[in-house]
Structure 1
Amino acid sequence: MTRIPDYAHNLSIRLSQVVGGDVMGVNEKMVKKRRRMWLLNESIFSLTQQLHGNALKWFVIGSQIEGTTTPELQSDTDWLGSINIYNVIQDLSEWEYGKQNLLMIQDENVSLGYCFLQILRDDAPLPQEVEVNDHSYTDGMGRILLKNTFVNVVRHVEAERNGPAHSLQRVPGVFYMDIVNAFPCQTRSVQPQHWLNQHMEGHWPTNDMIQFCRNTGCFVVGVGKKGSFNEVFEWRISTSLAERYLMLNLNLTQIRCYVLMKMILKTFIPKRFSDIISSFICKTVLLHCISYTRFDEWKENNIFICLSFYLSTLYNCVQNEYCPHFFITQNNLMSERFTPGTKPLILETLRYVIESNGRALLEIECDNFGLSLQSSLNGFLPRDAHFISTHIAGFLLTDTVQAVNKCAFIFLRERSDNSPRQTMQNLLTLMPNHHNDNFTNIDRIAYRLITQQLCGTLGTIIASSNIKQLDHLTYKKAISFMSLGIDTDVASRRLKLASMFYCAEDIEKTELILKNIEERYDLSVVEPMCTCYDFKKALRKKEFNRSCYESNVEFTLLKHITALCVCFIRCEINCCPLELQREMFRSTQEDFTYRSEDNEWMDMAVVDSLPYLYFLQYKTYSRLGRLDDKQRALSNISRTIDNEPNLGHRETALNLLGQCMEQEYRKDDALKCFLKSLKIRSRNNAAKVHIFRLIASSALLRQDVVGDILVALSSFKTMSTFVMFIGLSFICFYISISVFYLFHLL
């Protein structure tokens, strides 16, 4: 590296403080936390596929798991799905009987870094002679080749194709996840042996790293080189796992340099040219820089010099239009990337940053970096620094909760049956798998998190099958399964247990469980976690985020600071109070046509834990005749609906509150609750039934409430003409009765 200027040491210390501080969170604590949580998510989704018998394994690659991102870099999450149904080989000696074998071909017709995949027979190591599907093609040499369009068969219905990836977006134009489908190839000869032998003793990567990369193999990804004559037949060779392994073995200074490079490019390179120098190219240049230098030069008090060397290397790559792939060195990543006019602009920009001697860094607005650096140089740090890191930690735990819940829901959706007995058998088949010898420690954690979710359901299905005549053996078995899943979170599984006792008319035990839940539910810390559908969420509680940040064993926090939704499938209906059972039948035939693939939860009875806790308290104290406690519970339901910002099923809570108001003979207030519920969700809402049921049972309504109903009904275009007619008929009928009654009074 170059001679170190006098100011470089102080600037390096300040750079390390800012990038590694709580403002940006690129420090050892947060990097490790990111990696732990994403590796756990990876295992959760892979395990779900494995338990379903699918030959698919998921890997998280890129910035999120590397810890090389910040909030305003807005890095998406890159998932690689390894489809293990094919045996991709480079030599016929690796052919396996009974498998779908694909032979990699790399000849003069294939672009560097790419290959063809020739389809072989499954009964002999010989070429397939007949095209097997619409994605196969016979080339001029008589070979049956697999087109890379084959991977389009496996895709998310709402995804947009972006190169080899299927990109998902929550809002138009903002992608948050890239999914790449690939075939694994375990052959070692894909990676050039000269790369494995070119590194000198004592330099990076170490011998152990080289050995790991040699044994990792590679993937073939369904995309050809743009503009190639054989683009539709070419498959790109990907060394994603080897690259991820090297990135996970970088030190903090190297990670921070990579983050700074991405921030520099985002700040100074116009957005329309941002794809020319991609994050992958930046990563590759960094790996080359590290391999050219001594590993001990990359330290905190030398980060500015390291960054300058990194920038200079990238400048040379752009100038020469040459950046070799780190593993497949004959593949030039900068080949044909520059259009006329873009290269001089990028070179001028990089030269400006290099020659500014660090002053250009003060212009970086991303994550307020420039302002934070200036403050650090002046001896100050931003006051809200701690907020960013705790917020990231809270997001990471929330994302893991969503992963667990989605996977548990997939099991329930695919293994539930109209027969409770069959559903029990389907769920019981999952239970022995925790003894699997192939599970890693993180796999066992993932498996435990998933099965805990299902155990509560299994217990209530057993109890629901004969709730009124629970014999001792059935009772013991149901409690045993529910106990296995009791610590999934603070409240939801305990609330299912309380529901079981309530429906079995064991009110004393119901009260004890509800009291325990209320003591455990710290309103200042516990966060509702609805993962049934995507909705705009408010900022999580500060104490929740702080707990996530301070813990180094995040998955153990779930039972202390999260409150999942309480879900009852129809096999559990006898363990579900009547007021909540009605949510299972919320949809008319017309409503079904407005559902999306994310709305399958609507066939269940689903409610947020906190309002359901207070609802069960209201019902329990009503049975016990404790009027003051009953009114307190009623007030708590109303307060929770008004004040808890992250309820996912506020309309259901309002429906429960409305039915409580009915039982208090406050029918006007009940109607207001149902109308509010309809304003939140106009389709697939049981509030419609409640409204007409209540109108039909009422002989006298206040005039202002009648007016509200008329306005509300006329505004709901989603209501069918027949239902509207019936509703208005009921209202007119009861208005007539009221007028007749008042006339006779006068």
Structure 2
Amino acid sequence: MEGNSPAYYRDVSLRLFNLLDKVGLREDIRWKWINMMLEAEQIVSIANVSPYHIFGSQAEATTTDGLESDIDIVNCLTFVSVLQSIPSLQTSDAKYIMVSDASTPPGYVKLQIFDRYSVLPTQHSLDSIGRSVLCSRDFSSKRGLERHGPADKKMITRSFSIDFVEALRVRYWPCQASQWENRNNNYPSQANVNLIKKTGALLVPVGHPFSPESHLEWRISMSYGEKILVWQFNSTQHKCYALLKMIKKHFVQPVCGEQALSSYHCKTCIFYALQSTPSSLWKPDNLLLCIDLCLRTLLKWVKIGYCPNYFIPGENMFHGKLYGHIQVKLLAVLNDLLRQEGTYLLSLSCDDIGQRLTRLCQTSLINSVNQTKDGVKSMGIAILSLTNLIAFSQKMFACQDLCEKINFVNKICCTHTTIPTVLRLFYSSSLGSELASQCLAYSVIDKEKLDIAHEFLALGCASDVTSGRLKLAAFYLMQDNYIIAEYVLHLIHENYTYLVRYCKSTPTEEALCKMLENNLSVAEFVRKYVAFPVLYFQSEIHCMPQALILNMFVSRGPRLLDHVPSQCVCVDPEFFLHYLEYQCYFWQGKTSHKMAALNNMMWVVFYTNLEYGDSALSLLACCLMQEGMYMNAWKVLCMSMRFQNEHNAAMWHMAFLIKYAFRFLRIRQ
């Protein structure tokens, strides 16, 4: 096949290979991305009972800015144990056993109840031959999230979402995949085969689309093994896979829809191509040849309407997705691409590949400055994913009682990775604030306990740009220690880079360039360039501004996750900084500084996009009341009511404002 390829294939392949470096598929970025996702797994798993794992394009580092891949998070439920065979159950506490019969499609199983007192009794049902099995339908549906097959989708931005899947872990290699284990070829190596076998499999709560008992079936997912295989890709294989996904998105999806050809089909195609070709083929100057090979494999599968699962070939992954006119359209698209012999890449819009390749084919010059700029841009989604998971973990940690928090911190300290650096600092702020609140709740303060709380708060200052330091400054204000509070606020100003708006936006190119240039780890990046919101829970009520207490018990909003208690309040970091400055200068009698801080608060409220506007407006109204500006405070509270007219603490602030106003009038009379 290599001898029949056009003469320009080798030269264009090399140019395309270098071009893909510029859109984020460089080797150093690839492994930094993979390490970030591994750290993210640990961050979420530490604060939860069941382990979480990240799969898909984000975990494999096979995505770019233009592909806009989602992040797939699987929660492996540990309270439901599953085994394959009955003899092994004699020494196990397993609740379910994997079973199948003549009517069960390949790649799917049922879970027969083994313990009559098993968990989730309301989700059991009888199958066609009378076995009591665990239902898969709606097994993991979460309230308020959009359902997509077995996944619950949570939108983070317009183009980025997180898919949550709850699955069951099988520690042993599935019997249905024994054919893959015993095949005779050189890919993958025997060492990798043994490693993949040890990972076992997942059981995902989704049935076969054409099965009459689909609500009772669970799909076998080999996501662990697939991730290992993708990690083993060399640079050419890695870029070939990403390029296949770009072709799918630009040429296939607009004609055939999203379901006809998926990224998973492309991944399976790469696996089979690697299995049937020598490793010497997969080198940079053969990149176009490798793409053609994969497209021809896909074309063959579409013609027969059968895409075999790599680990379980009996499972047809085109079932329910490729039929009738969609199959005809997909055949036409693939045939057209192969006839063009690679020239279709010149019109590929994803990541501007077409325009860039056209320029590179006209000149041999490659702009190294743009290469650095474009390469780091595609890491933004990975950083956004990680900061969201840190915020999620922080909230989960704050829900626990004090003993559980201490156990969490001890658990983190025993983890020999960079995760302790990230999480221990966040958790230290939460622990210190809770301990300080317990001390300040009594008239006689336990000095020894308060010193311990101060040590935790001081340690948490390095958690990120603002949140830990702001909690420490609030702690000093509650003790009337205004001089040290002012000093801490001054330090925040000096370190306030604010290159990333906590976990709601992707990092700027400036921040990402600095991350790569200085070879920063994720922990160092978060500490220097990310500003998380300040989060207070009910256990910290004596260590937070009194103006926020009503918001904690009254205000509700969609931003709070279902598993997070409603008794919490968040404040945007930039606004809270100016609020603490106002309070500090107010009690020190520094009038000019105080008014400057008040003006800064109003500017942030009216001219920036706040995530927690209700908290900011309540604090601003209380500051205006401190200044005797009652009419202005009333207008601010009315504005808050227009944004959220129900379950808003502004109603109570209005009542207090009316009380103060009548008292003021009575004094004047």
Fold agreement, TM-score > 0.5: yes
Alignment check: 8 A CA contact 1:148 1:223 kept: yes
**In the aligned structure 2, how far is the partner of 1:325 from the partner of 1:224?**
16
**In the aligned structure 1, how far is the partner of 2:275 from the partner of 2:188?**
7
Residue aligned with 2:286, SS: helix
One-letter code aligned to 2:197: R
Superposed CA deviations along residues 450-473 of structure 1, whole A, max 9, x for unmatched, are 63353333343244333x643431
Closer, same or farther: CA 685–381 of 1 in aligned 2, 3 Å: farther
**In the aligned structure 2, how far is the partner of 1:197 from the partner of 1:49?**
37
**In the aligned structure 1, how far is the partner of 2:199 from the partner of 2:211?**
29
- Selected match of 1:205 from 176, 188, 205: 188
**In the aligned structure 2, how far is the partner of 1:586 from the partner of 1:37?**
37
Matched, 1:215 2:198: yes
Residue aligned with 1:100, SS: coil
Task: Name the structure 2 match of 1:713.
Answer: none
**In the aligned structure 1, how far is the partner of 2:35 from the partner of 2:110?**
37
Matched, 1:547 2:547: no
One-letter code aligned to 1:182: A
Residue aligned with 1:563, SS: coil
**In the aligned structure 2, how far is the partner of 1:506 from the partner of 1:287?**
64
Matched, 1:37 2:64: no
Closer, same or farther: CA 311–626 of 1 in aligned 2, 3 Å: same
Matched, 1:5 2:6: yes
**In the aligned structure 2, how far is the partner of 1:316 from the partner of 1:469?**
80
- Selected match of 1:561 from 529, 537, 550: 529
Closer, same or farther: CA 195–606 of 1 in aligned 2, 3 Å: closer
- Selected match of 2:342 from 358, 363, 369: 358
> Where in structure 2 are the equivalents of 1:55-94 lying within 5 Å?
56-94=50-88
Task: Name the structure 1 match of 2:242.
Answer: 259
Residue aligned with 1:619, SS: helix
Task: Name the structure 2 match of 1:660.
Answer: 623
> Where in structure 2 are the equivalents of 1:237-276 lying within 5 Å?
237-269=220-252, 270-276=254-260
- Selected match of 2:136 from 145, 148, 154: 148
Superposed CA deviations along residues 18-75 of structure 1, whole A, max 9, x for unmatched, are 2221xx312223322322222222222222222xxxxx32221111111122233232
Residue aligned with 2:451, SS: helix
Task: Name the structure 2 match of 1:616.
Answer: 580
Task: Name the structure 2 match of 1:343.
Answer: 327
Matched, 1:431 2:409: yes
Task: Name the structure 1 match of 2:150.
Answer: 164
Closer, same or farther: CA 60–621 of 1 in aligned 2, 3 Å: same
**In the aligned structure 2, how far is the partner of 1:611 from the partner of 1:68?**
38
> Where in structure 2 are the equivalents of 1:372-391 lying within 5 Å?
372-379=356-363, 389-391=375-377
Closer, same or farther: CA 81–691 of 1 in aligned 2, 3 Å: closer
**In the aligned structure 2, how far is the partner of 1:374 from the partner of 1:39?**
37
Closer, same or farther: CA 199–450 of 1 in aligned 2, 3 Å: farther
Shift of 1:210: 0.9
One-letter code aligned to 1:280: Y
One-letter code aligned to 2:434: L
**In the aligned structure 1, how far is the partner of 2:121 from the partner of 2:553?**
46
Alignment check: 8 A CA contact 2:537 2:569 kept: yes
Alignment check: 8 A CA contact 1:464 1:573 kept: no
- Selected match of 1:329 from 306, 313, 318: 313
Closer, same or farther: CA 447–213 of 1 in aligned 2, 3 Å: same
- Selected match of 2:113 from 116, 119, 122: 119
**In the aligned structure 1, how far is the partner of 2:462 from the partner of 2:424?**
11
Shift of 1:288: 0.7
Identity %: 26
Residue aligned with 1:75, SS: coil
Aligned-pair RMSD on alpha carbons? 3.5
One-letter code aligned to 2:104: V
- Selected match of 2:211 from 224, 228, 246: 228
Matched, 1:405 2:379: no
**In the aligned structure 2, how far is the partner of 1:115 from the partner of 1:599?**
31
Task: Name the structure 2 match of 1:716.
Answer: none
Q: Which has more radius of gyration?
A: 1
Closer, same or farther: CA 654–83 of 1 in aligned 2, 3 Å: closer
Alignment check: 8 A CA contact 2:97 2:112 kept: yes
- Selected match of 1:304 from 288, 291, 296: 288
Alignment check: 8 A CA contact 1:86 1:99 kept: no
- Selected match of 1:441 from 412, 417, 426: 417
**In the aligned structure 2, how far is the partner of 1:580 from the partner of 1:192?**
57
Closer, same or farther: CA 233–652 of 1 in aligned 2, 3 Å: closer
- Structure 1: gaps of 5 or more residues: 51-55, 416-422, 532-536, 702-732, 742-746
**In the aligned structure 2, how far is the partner of 1:263 from the partner of 1:595?**
33
Alignment check: 8 A CA contact 2:426 2:468 kept: no
Structure of higher RCO (CA pairs closer than 8 Å, 6+ residues apart): 2
Shift of 1:278: 2.2
Closer, same or farther: CA 514–197 of 1 in aligned 2, 3 Å: same
- TM-score, normalized by length of structure 2? 0.88
Closer, same or farther: CA 144–539 of 1 in aligned 2, 3 Å: closer
**In the aligned structure 2, how far is the partner of 1:325 from the partner of 1:144?**
29
**In the aligned structure 2, how far is the partner of 1:10 from the partner of 1:31?**
24
Number of positions where the alignment pairs a residue of Structure 1 with one of Structure 2:
662
Residue aligned with 2:216, SS: coil
Task: Name the structure 1 match of 2:382.
Answer: 396
Superposed CA deviations along residues 374-431 of structure 1, whole A, max 9, x for unmatched, are 1222337799776554444344333322212222212323x3xxxxxxx544533433
Residues 453-462 or 320-329, more deviating: 453-462
Closer, same or farther: CA 451–10 of 1 in aligned 2, 3 Å: same
